[in-house]
């Protein structure tokens, strides 16, 4: 018993020393999400190897996020996460399937520069004249469905079948285990016609071992440390990456929908309208 206490005390002291000597680890793999690397024009560096790509862009695209939707309130309120737009922009540009145009908060700066030009504050050769902005052929709209399943109960049930201290120890660890899941949906809209071009679901899950990495220590704790730091945000980004991959696969196999007579001209599922002839009332003859 004394030996175990001495070992635990030594680990605590070592942890304190390491905390005092900690250094910043730029580019840490444990801090990355499924959306990795960078994009510059048609080139991408260190992008996720599973990200679907195109040989050439299919048009221009703006990412439009509905900040009034219930899922956005959960994202920013309960999970304390930011906008999904920057992550989606990175994925889209890295894929080279669309050219991203700004229609979000950055648009305020874009229009602000034009206002400065019109007021005469900018230099003569600033070149902010009319007809410079690029239209958005398509709009990408994200939405999120959250599902968090706690796996601690199942782990505790298994622990109850084990004898003595082993069962108690595993039960304590199982209580900190839970599975984090996220399901996302992306839709692509043609801005000129308002017709939906594509829609794709995506999902991701990860097991969060909670305190397991901190309790076990040694080499086993190191191998699980990445899971102990898993956040809802990482799962959501992974789900969006899956969803966007499905969008790319869909548009690569895109086939135009056609309606006889043209879109929006009445359709083929007809209903009776106001101009339909009314039934005649039967005329009763006098006897």
Question: How confident is the model over 123-137, as pLDDT tens digits?
Answer: 999 998 889 999 999
Beta carbons within 8 Å of 95's beta carbon, 6+ residues apart: 51, 52, 53, 54, 244, 248
- Give the model confidence (pLDDT) of 37-62 as tens digits: 999 999 999 898 999 999 999 999 99
Look at the chain and count its residues. Answer: 287
Pick the residue with more confidence: 8 or 96? 96
Q: How far apart are CA 236 and CA 73, in angstroms?
A: 15
Residue 16 lies in a domain: no
Chain segment 160-217, per-residue pLDDT in tens: 555 555 555 555 555 555 678 899 999 999 999 999 999 999 999 887 655 444 444 4
* Residue scoring higher pLDDT (173 or 95): 95
Residue 149 pLDDT grade (very low, low, confident, very high; cuts 50, 70, 90): low
Residue 15 lies in a domain: no
* 11 found inside a domain: no
CA–CA separation, 58 and 188 (whole Å):
12
At residue 232's C-alpha, the angle toward residues 227 and 234, to 5°, is 70
Q: Residue 228: pLDDT band by 50, 70, 90 thresholds? A: very low
Assigned domain for 197 exists: yes
pLDDT > 80? residue 13: no
Q: Is residue 76 part of a domain?
A: yes
Confidence bin at 226 (pLDDT 50/70/90): very low
Full residue range of the structural domain in which residue 45 is found: 34-120+133-252
pLDDT tier at 284, thresholds 50, 70, 90? confident
Q: Is residue 1 part of a domain?
A: no
* pLDDT (0 to 100) of residue 264: 93
Give the chain's domain count. Answer: 1
Residue 154 lies in a domain: yes
Across the chain, mean pLDDT equals 80
pLDDT of residue 205: 87
Report yes or no on 172 lying in a domain.
yes
pLDDT, mean of residues 141-157? 64
């Amino acid at each position: 018993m004394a030996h175990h206490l001495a070992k635990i005390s030594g680990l605590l002291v070592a942890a304190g020393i390491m905390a005092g000597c900690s250094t910043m680890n730029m580019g840490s793999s444990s801090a990355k999400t499924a959306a990795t690397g960078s994009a510059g024009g048609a080139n991408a560096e260190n992008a996720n190897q599973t990200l679907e790509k195109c040989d050439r862009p299919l048009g221009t695209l703006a990412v439009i996020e509905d900040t009034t939707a219930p899922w956005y309130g959960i994202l920013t309120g309960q999970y304390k996460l930011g906008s999904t737009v920057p992550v989606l922009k990175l994925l889209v540009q890295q894929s080279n399937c669309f050219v991203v145009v700004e229609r979000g908060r950055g648009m305020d700066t874009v229009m602000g520069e034009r206002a400065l030009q019109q007021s005469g504050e900018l230099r003569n050769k600033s070149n902010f004249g009319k007809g410079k902005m690029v239209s958005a052929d398509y709009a990408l709209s994200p939405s999120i469905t959250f599902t968090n399943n706690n796996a601690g109960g199942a782990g505790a049930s298994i622990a109850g079948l084990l004898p003595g201290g082993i069962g108690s120890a595993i039960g304590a660890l199982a209580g900190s285990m839970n599975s984090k899941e996220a399901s996302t949906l992306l839709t692509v809209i043609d801005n000129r016609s308002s017709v939906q071009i594509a829609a794709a679901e995506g999902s991701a899950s990860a097991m969060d071992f909670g305190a397991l990495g901190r309790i076990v220590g040694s080499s086993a704790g190191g191998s699980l440390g990445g899971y102990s730091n898993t956040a809802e945000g990482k799962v959501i980004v992974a789900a969006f990456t899956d969803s966007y991959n499905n969008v790319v696969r869909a548009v690569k196999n895109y086939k135009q929908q056609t309606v006889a007579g043209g879109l929006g001209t009445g359709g083929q599922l007809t209903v009776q309208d106001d101009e339909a002839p009314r039934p005649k009332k039967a005329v009763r003859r006098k006897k």
